[in-house]
């Protein structure tokens, strides 16, 4: 797993918010609304500069080329069946169910303090949820949540790259909005990539979402 370590010139907050919103739409479960979401992302890309637009466009192109059923099956096979590709951020950082519940509560509390209710249909630590919060509700708090979980996001990106997943460029675009990884971050990410996330599952505590949660027909709860 190769960690992204390049320095990022600090961009306009609006640009980061566009990246986060586009990424949240692209990383959502590919339901019947996927074509409309791809149209929305392409509109956003016209307002993005730098390499982020190119990265996000790679995922758009790949998803446009797939049949809906194939896209859904690929999503489930990638994010539900590959432990190293989970998008539940606290699943990477909490070593037991009690710790994970407490960490998820921190996400839910951050949402409430920003004036929105935690989502009912998806866990508060699910990456597309965090990205949408950062893009549309509170970019400062959202950036803090993403930065605090930079290592799991980097590990996810590396696992998607190893799997040659079309979602990898989108996660790479998200990584590019966060502070550059330190040498210590790299070592921690490498250890985490080898060990994988903890295996135990917990009940999830449920803001109304623009991005759809994964629905029955294949998705499992962590």
Determine the Cα angle at 134 with ends 133 and 136, to 5°: 65
On the question of pLDDT at 190 being above 90, the answer is no
Q: Which residue has the higher pLDDT, 58 or 96?
A: 58
pTM flag (> 0.85)? no
b/e sequence 116-145, b meaning 16+ C-beta within 10 Å: eebbeebbbbbbbbbbbbbbbebbeebbeb
pLDDT per position as a tens digit, 10-23: 446 899 999 999 99
Please, what is the end-to-end C-alpha distance for the chain in angstroms? 23
On the question of pLDDT at 78 being above 50, the answer is yes
Q: Residue for token digits 């016209």?
A: 46
Predicted local distance difference test score (pLDDT) of residue 10: 44
Average pLDDT over every residue of 176-203: 66
Instruction: Tell me if the domain spanning 1-195 has CATH number 1.10.3470.
Output: no
pLDDT per position as a tens digit, 106-120: 999 999 999 999 998
On the question of pLDDT at 2 being above 90, the answer is no
Report the percentage of the chain scoring pLDDT > 70.
74
Predicted local distance difference test score (pLDDT) of residue 1: 35
Q: In a 10 Å sphere around its CB, with 0-12 CB exposed, 13-18 middle and 19+ buried, how is residue 10 labelled?
A: exposed
The residue extents of the domains of the chain are: 1-195
């Amino acid at each position: 797993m190769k960690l992204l370590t390049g320095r990022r010139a600090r961009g306009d907050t609006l640009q980061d918010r566009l990246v986060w919103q586009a990424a949240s739409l692209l990383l959502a479960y590919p339901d019947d609304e996927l074509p409309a979401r791809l149209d929305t992302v392409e509109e956003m890309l016209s307002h993005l500069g730098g390499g982020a637009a190119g990265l996000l466009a790679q995922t758009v192109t790949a998803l446009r080329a797939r049949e809906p059923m194939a896209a859904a099956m690929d999503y489930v096979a990638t994010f539900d069946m590959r432990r190293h590709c989970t998008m539940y951020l606290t699943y990477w950082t909490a070593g037991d169910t009690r710790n994970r519940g407490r960490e998820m509560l921190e996400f839910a509390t951050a949402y409430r303090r920003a004036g929105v209710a935690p989502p009912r249909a998806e866990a508060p630590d699910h990456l597309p949820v965090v990205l949408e919060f950062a893009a549309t509700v509170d970019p400062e708090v959202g950036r803090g949540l993403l930065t605090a979980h930079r290592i799991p996001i980097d590990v996810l990106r590396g696992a998607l790259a190893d799997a040659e997943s079309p979602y990898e460029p989108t996660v790479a675009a998200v990584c590019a909005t966060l502070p550059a990884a330190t040498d210590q971050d790299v070592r921690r990410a490498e250890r985490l990539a080898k060990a994988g996330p903890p295996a135990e599952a917990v009940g999830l505590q449920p803001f109304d979402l623009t991005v759809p949660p994964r629905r029955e027909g294949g998705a499992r709860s962590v």
